[in-house]
Structure 1
Amino acid sequence: MISPYVRRHRLATELIRLREEHGYSTQRLATAVGIPRQRISQLQNGHVRPNDAEIMRILNVLKVGDRRWQQITTIAREAAERGWWEKFRDEMGPSQALYADLEAGARAIAEYQTLLPGLLQIPAFTEVRMRVNRGPRSEDFDPTRALEARQIRQRILHRDGGPSYEVIIDELAVRRHAAPPDVVRAQLDHLVQIGRERKKKITIRVLPISVTVPGYVVPGSPFFTYRYPDPGDPVVVAVEMARRDLVLTDPAETNGYLDQYRRLQQAALTHDESLDFLATVAEELPAYTGSRR
């Protein structure tokens, strides 16, 4: 399953391209198809799930050939799919549901983090962060379900055919404890273990405090990049924000983040150096004594 969010944006791009190729304005197309102009605009913005009937009516009006018809109807079907996260979006939180969507079907995931990364967190560390983080939540938010959702998301890194994954962790995330010291130690030990066991698919790199990133780059927020198997799908960048995360698909907006990430890669320790560093820091902390509730 490819991210429905990403496929909606791919569908939007294809519909705009088709409409412009045939010389239709949005209003003219809406009139010809018999669909409200607002609905056409929403489809072109990737803001709504399409349905088969309306997409076929658009393709009929634009007299689309068989090959392209098949391509676009396939994209539309995938754009309308509902992932496992839809069943308990409110319980797991909208932010985590969004990331679960973006991760679906990704070929490569990379992130810059100022906190030990969620896809590699142990349950004890996640539990602490959920208690501390009091961001926007619905009345239905359930910490237990949210933790279950995090564990489901983590499975993609261990699945056959799953994405490659790289994280650049700011050294401050390692030095500044975001949980009790023994939990931090268990978390760091886990990063070292998984980094060694899954070296072909998982890359962990630490950005030292002492380095100067080329171009004096200092990211303002953690961010993620997602690439997908279909070269026609956009490269997606998600930026963690205080109230609501920002998702970018326009190359004019994503290219700056991709350039930042390349510069961070140039400055970060190698994978092996990073694991040695994490192991050294972990040894300075007390052994894990068990979960806290």
Structure 2
Amino acid sequence: MTSPFLRRRRLATELRTLREEKGIKAEDLSQQILRSRMTVSKLENGRCRPDVADVVKILEILGVTGDKWQELFNLTCQAAERGWWDKYGDAMGPRQRMYADLESAAESICGYNQFGVPGILQTPDFSLALVELDKADGPLTYRPDRMLEARQRRRQAAFGPGGPTYELILDEFVVRRLAVPPGVMSEQLVHLVQAATAEPRLSIHVLPVNARVEGGFLARSTFAIYTFTDPRDPPVAIADTMHTDIVHTTAREVARYVELYRRLREASLSPVSSLTLLEEAANELSELAGS
């Protein structure tokens, strides 16, 4: 399917550009469609699901007709669609909903994980161990059971027919320092090895703790780069910060993440050596758990 998130951003750019070309202020437009200035702002920044009737009124005010009207009407309908993830509401968390949305239209995903294992590749026990760590920051804003159910749906969609290729760089820092029970981490590492061995569209690189990343600064956060099947949708980079995800869409911003990813990949182990390291670490942790 198409990604409603991407369609909202494309629609936002189109509407803002058309309004500015007509010399109409956002405040004046909001008064003409009998909506608040904030509503127009959210629509022109892709931060809300569009109301089709509102957009039709805006197109009329801006004098859009013919093929352009039909193109933007179709885009509005796609932007207003709901995906399977929407039925979970806040129970699965807003971050995971956005990831599921982007994955639905992705052709490839390249991710660097500095402090954790990507949710889509986590075992249930590992996810629950992270939930316990998450509780240290205060009350949960999601339901763990629904979060796990949603991740299962994401795995089925991403690794089902027509899903994206997925290349992961996992910092060895995660394997050595993340404070989950040794047995749980061991099982998680075994799962990564098995998944990468069984799924040809998945490849895993480990960035050793003693690797030197040449050519510039180190990564300051976990991030992922998405490319999409529709050539009209440019690549997107998402930086994972402590409290939110920052979405980068401009060519210059995305290019910086692409270059950073290239340098991290060059400093990482090959897929075969990476899986060997993960397997050896899993054995060490299993022995530690047994003792």
Q: TM-score range by the shorter chain?
A: 0.7 to 0.9
d(CA) in 1 for partners of 2:140, 2:282: 36
d(CA) in 1 for partners of 2:286, 2:39: 58
Q: Provide TM-score, normalisation by structure 2.
A: 0.87
| Structure 2 residue aligned with 1:257 | 257
| Structure 2 residue aligned with 1:223 | 223
| Structure 2 residue aligned with 1:242 | 242
d(CA) in 2 for partners of 1:42, 1:286: 50
| Structure 2 residue aligned with 1:202 | 202
d(CA) in 1 for partners of 2:178, 2:18: 52
- Unaligned residue ranges in structure 1 (runs of 5+): none
**1:255 partner amino acid:** A
Residue 66 in structure 1 maps to residue 99 in structure 2: no
1:5-154 → structure 2 map (5 Å cutoff): 5-27=5-27, 29-30=29-30, 36-114=36-114, 115-134=116-135, 135=137, 137=139, 141-154=142-155
Conservation of the 8 A alpha-carbon contact between 1:186 and 1:287: no
| Structure 2 residue aligned with 1:272 | 272
| Structure 2 residue aligned with 1:184 | 185
Aligned length: 287
Change over 3 Å in CA distance of 1:287–1:84 after alignment to 2: farther
Conservation of the 8 A alpha-carbon contact between 1:225 and 1:236: yes
More displaced, 95-104 or 41-50? Answer: 95-104
Change over 3 Å in CA distance of 1:117–1:41 after alignment to 2: closer
Offset at 1:96? 2.4
Offset at 1:137? 5.0
Q: Secondary structure at the match of 2:106?
A: coil
Q: Secondary structure at the match of 2:226?
A: strand
d(CA) in 1 for partners of 2:288, 2:85: 31
- Unaligned residue ranges in structure 2 (runs of 5+): none
Offset at 1:15? 1.3
d(CA) in 1 for partners of 2:132, 2:248: 29
Offset at 1:28? 5.2
How big is each residue's C-alpha offset from its partner over 1:162-199, in whole Å with a ceiling of 9 and x where there is no partner? 11111110111122244222222211111111111112
State the identity as a percent: 41
Conservation of the 8 A alpha-carbon contact between 1:90 and 1:138: no
How big is each residue's C-alpha offset from its partner over 1:92-130, in whole Å with a ceiling of 9 and x where there is no partner? 223323322332322222211022222111111111111
How big is each residue's C-alpha offset from its partner over 1:226-284, in whole Å with a ceiling of 9 and x where there is no partner? 22222322422222222223223233433322221122122222222212222222232
**2:165 partner amino acid:** S
Q: Secondary structure at the match of 2:286?
A: coil
More displaced, 255-264 or 186-195? Answer: 255-264
Structure 1 segments (4+ residues) deviating >6 Å: none
Q: Tell me how large the CA RMSD over aligned residues is.
A: 2.5
**1:213 partner amino acid:** V
Conservation of the 8 A alpha-carbon contact between 1:93 and 1:138: no
Conservation of the 8 A alpha-carbon contact between 1:2 and 1:106: no
Conservation of the 8 A alpha-carbon contact between 1:222 and 1:240: yes
Conservation of the 8 A alpha-carbon contact between 1:183 and 1:288: no
d(CA) in 2 for partners of 1:28, 1:92: 38
Conservation of the 8 A alpha-carbon contact between 1:217 and 1:263: no
Q: Secondary structure at the match of 2:244?
A: coil
d(CA) in 2 for partners of 1:43, 1:116: 34
| Structure 1 residue aligned with 2:167 | 166
d(CA) in 2 for partners of 1:137, 1:5: 28
More displaced, 130-139 or 164-173? Answer: 130-139
d(CA) in 2 for partners of 1:253, 1:136: 33
Q: Provide TM-score, normalisation by structure 1.
A: 0.87
d(CA) in 2 for partners of 1:91, 1:40: 28
**1:57 partner amino acid:** K
